[in-house]
Structure 1
Amino acid sequence: MKKIKSLIAILAVSLLAVMLTACSKNNSGSSSESTSSTAKSYVPQSINLQVTPSVQAGEMENLAKPLGQMLSDKLGIPVNVTVATDSNSMVEAMSSKKVDMAFLSPGNYVKAHQRGAADVILQAQRYGQNDGKVTDQLVDSYRSMITVKNGSSIKSWEDLKGKKIAVQAVTSAAGYMLPVLELKDKGLDVETQAQLVTVKGHDQGIISVLNGDVDAAFTFEDARLNVQKDDPNIMNDVKAVYFTEQRIPNDTISVRSDMDEAFRTKLADAMIEIAKTPEGHKVVKSIASHEGYVKSDDSKFASMYKIEEALQNK
């Protein structure tokens, strides 16, 4: 009798285990389907738009607010514009879903996309630059430049050893990543053989050089133009001693990775249309030196993934 009771107990436990396993599989399957079906289902009722602090934060906020109103008029929903405290914080804001849409630099876009936090929808267009001379051709990539004060003893990248250099955050492609990598390939490790000073905004890098606070600066080409209104002679006062050999994809407009596809298209179309209007063009040019936008996707940033990988392995 005891053997029969023991057998019944064993069978009961086995049956329960089978049932629990089946339930677990069913629940797992339902969760997977739910995740898949809601992966890009987020439709904002309002937009939190964040811009990069490429110039001083207070000035940037005043410049960017009109864009929020234009976008709100196009979409029919409120658009709140903020300026990031620094470029790194934008990746965190996208990851925590506090920001729906952001002007991400190529370096920040790559980091955000790798974390599953953001997808690119638009890429900026700018007129080409050639050492301060603006071309009439719209391009979707640019170089990094190293500048020094006119009259400096620094004549080339080789003279940067032991010098004080203004840089942007480590995720800045032009203000840190690419020049650091290219100079290291040439034999100069500025991270250990120079003094790097982080400043907020490429214009601040140029101003730091002009004021003699640093010996050189890493910026995008040509950040001097952002200072020209305050110093009309800036192109002579600050000169370029190096341009990167590799080019960097232009800035992105990126959105939350869970944003609805149809809404993404609506948002992208709205930004393209805004940039084509005289008022809208003036705003996007003033806040980011953008001339307009073209639709883009992750494949356009293959070079940035290679730069990121090279920096991690250096």
Structure 2
Amino acid sequence: MKAKKLFATSMVAFAAAALLIGCGSKESKTKESDSGSKALDELNVMFVPSKNPDDIVAATKPLSGLLQEELKKEGVEVKNVKISVGTDFQAVGEALSSGSADVGYGVPGGTYAVYKDETEVILTATRAGLNKDSDKAKDWNDGKPTEKLTDKVAKSYRSLLIAGPSAKGQELAKKVNAGEDLTWDDLNGANWGLAAPTSSAGYIYPSLWLNDNVKHNITELKSTVQNDSYGSGFARLASGQIDVLPVYADARSDFADAWTKEYGKKDIWTETNVIGVTVPIYNDAILVSKKSDKMDDKVKEALQNALINMAKTDEGKKVIAVYSHSGYEKATDSDYDTEVKAQELMKSQTKK
């Protein structure tokens, strides 16, 4: 009896101790949650190569420290922010899809549309508006620079089909500036330099333009080359290797110096002409990977606030200037529904 009594007493004591330990553990988790703090060993941020990769690397070098500082204010401490640049747009999408990248920076809507099941939109970029925004190609060909307006912010932009200084490029430009419509034979007879198939400005919207204007799509062009960046595209345009280059609307402003100093030409505004203008495209997005176990609601909200606030600082403005971003606004997947529809149209065109 004494043994049974002793055993029962021990079990009661054990149960009481276990209950106290359980309560203590639960209380500790609550305190951790209430503190609002979160620690991450590393955050992998990958930029798309919509500008020269070397320029992006140089410009975004301060981002690690700036983002760490702003995230800390939001209750998320990151030991290391790793910055990299994808080899092309698809590489960034693949990295986000696999979870090897946590954040995709400056991602075009077209790339998001391809990888929408594995990614989530958290921000969209704002840019300075431009002094030109006409649907008519020849209105862009006054020989004067396309300038950014400091008092105008835009959430969308255009893709322009730029004809270069080659004989074929000048032939197309002459026809457009005379008020004549280009035919499929005109366009199909040119050498085109294209971005990756997920690029909105460099591929998708130009294909929609072709579909709307000459009832053909970009995959039907007989002579194309894929550029790994807009910089390499402009280099090919300047040398005459290609006749037509689809780019974002203020690309010539960004490459005006390189046009003369690196590519050996005289003046980008008189040696190139716009031969096509697409419908407006929603600005670049900042995406997070659904495959990343770091991306809970707290971290996503912290990232949104941190990048919005960073973009308001003098140091942050210098970093995001490489993409011509002026700031960021919170966004959701539904903001890019038009991009998804455009991608679906691209798929239907490819099957024809």
TM-score range, shorter chain: 0.7 to 0.9
C-alpha contact (below 8 Å) 1:160/1:194 kept by paired residues: no
How large is the Cα RMSD of the aligned pairs?
A: 1.9
The one-letter amino acid paired with 1:296 is A
CA distance in structure 2 between the aligned counterparts of 1:45 and 1:241, rounded to whole angstroms: 49
CA distance in structure 2 between the aligned counterparts of 1:267 and 1:105, rounded to whole angstroms: 19
CA distance in structure 2 between the aligned counterparts of 1:48 and 1:201, rounded to whole angstroms: 22
Gaps of 5+ in 2: 1-37, 72-76, 133-139, 141-145, 177-181, 261-266
Q: Give 3-state SS (helix, strand or coil) of 1:98's partner.
A: coil
CA distance in structure 2 between the aligned counterparts of 1:180 and 1:240, rounded to whole angstroms: 16
CA distance in structure 2 between the aligned counterparts of 1:203 and 1:45, rounded to whole angstroms: 35
CA distance in structure 1 between the aligned counterparts of 2:65 and 2:281, rounded to whole angstroms: 30
Fraction of identical pairs, as percent: 29
Q: Give 3-state SS (helix, strand or coil) of 1:303's partner.
A: helix
- Find out whether 1:112 has 2:115 as its counterpart: yes
Determine which of 25, 38, 56 is the counterpart of 2:52: 56
C-alpha contact (below 8 Å) 2:86/2:92 kept by paired residues: yes
TM-score of the two chains, using structure 2 as the length reference: 0.72
CA distance in structure 2 between the aligned counterparts of 1:181 and 1:231, rounded to whole angstroms: 28
CA distance in structure 2 between the aligned counterparts of 1:45 and 1:248, rounded to whole angstroms: 36
Per the alignment, do residues 164 and 66 of structure 1 end up closer, same or farther by CA in structure 2, a change over 3 Å counting?
same
C-alpha contact (below 8 Å) 2:156/2:282 kept by paired residues: yes
Q: What is the match of residue 99 of structure 1?
A: 101
Q: What is the match of residue 34 of structure 1?
A: none
- Find out whether 1:134 has 2:148 as its counterpart: yes
The one-letter amino acid paired with 1:291 is S
CA distance in structure 1 between the aligned counterparts of 2:152 and 2:219, rounded to whole angstroms: 35
Q: What is the match of residue 286 of structure 2?
A: 253
Per the alignment, do residues 168 and 43 of structure 1 end up closer, same or farther by CA in structure 2, a change over 3 Å counting?
farther
- Find out whether 1:197 has 2:197 as its counterpart: no
TM-score of the two chains, using structure 1 as the length reference: 0.80
Matched positions, count? 269
- Find out whether 1:278 has 2:314 as its counterpart: yes
1:122-149 CA distances to partner (integer Å, 9 max, x unpaired)? 1000112324232331111111100012
**What displacement does 1:190 show?**
3.9
**What displacement does 1:44 show?**
4.0
CA distance in structure 1 between the aligned counterparts of 2:86 and 2:331, rounded to whole angstroms: 23
CA distance in structure 2 between the aligned counterparts of 1:248 and 1:44, rounded to whole angstroms: 35
CA distance in structure 2 between the aligned counterparts of 1:128 and 1:205, rounded to whole angstroms: 24
Q: What is the match of residue 10 of structure 1?
A: none
Q: Give 3-state SS (helix, strand or coil) of 2:311's partner.
A: helix
CA distance in structure 2 between the aligned counterparts of 1:52 and 1:296, rounded to whole angstroms: 19
Determine which of 226, 230, 235 is the counterpart of 2:254: 226
1:182-203 CA distances to partner (integer Å, 9 max, x unpaired)? 2123224442233111102223
Q: Give 3-state SS (helix, strand or coil) of 1:194's partner.
A: coil
C-alpha contact (below 8 Å) 1:55/1:204 kept by paired residues: no
Q: What is the match of residue 164 of structure 2?
A: 149
- Find out whether 1:211 has 2:244 as its counterpart: no
**What displacement does 1:301 show?**
0.7
C-alpha contact (below 8 Å) 1:202/1:220 kept by paired residues: no
- Find out whether 1:297 has 2:312 as its counterpart: no
CA distance in structure 2 between the aligned counterparts of 1:143 and 1:97, rounded to whole angstroms: 31
Higher mean C-alpha deviation, range 214-223 or range 143-152: 143-152
1:37-83 CA distances to partner (integer Å, 9 max, x unpaired)? xxxxx974321000011122223212222112211222231100000
1:87-111 CA distances to partner (integer Å, 9 max, x unpaired)? 1011110111100111121111122
C-alpha contact (below 8 Å) 2:45/2:101 kept by paired residues: yes
- Find out whether 1:186 has 2:204 as its counterpart: no
Determine which of 154, 167, 170 is the counterpart of 2:197: 170
Q: Find runs of 4+ consecutive structure 1 residues off by over 4 angstroms.
A: none
CA distance in structure 2 between the aligned counterparts of 1:107 and 1:52, rounded to whole angstroms: 12
CA distance in structure 2 between the aligned counterparts of 1:44 and 1:229, rounded to whole angstroms: 41
CA distance in structure 2 between the aligned counterparts of 1:278 and 1:184, rounded to whole angstroms: 43
CA distance in structure 1 between the aligned counterparts of 2:268 and 2:213, rounded to whole angstroms: 29
Q: What is the match of residue 14 of structure 2?
A: none
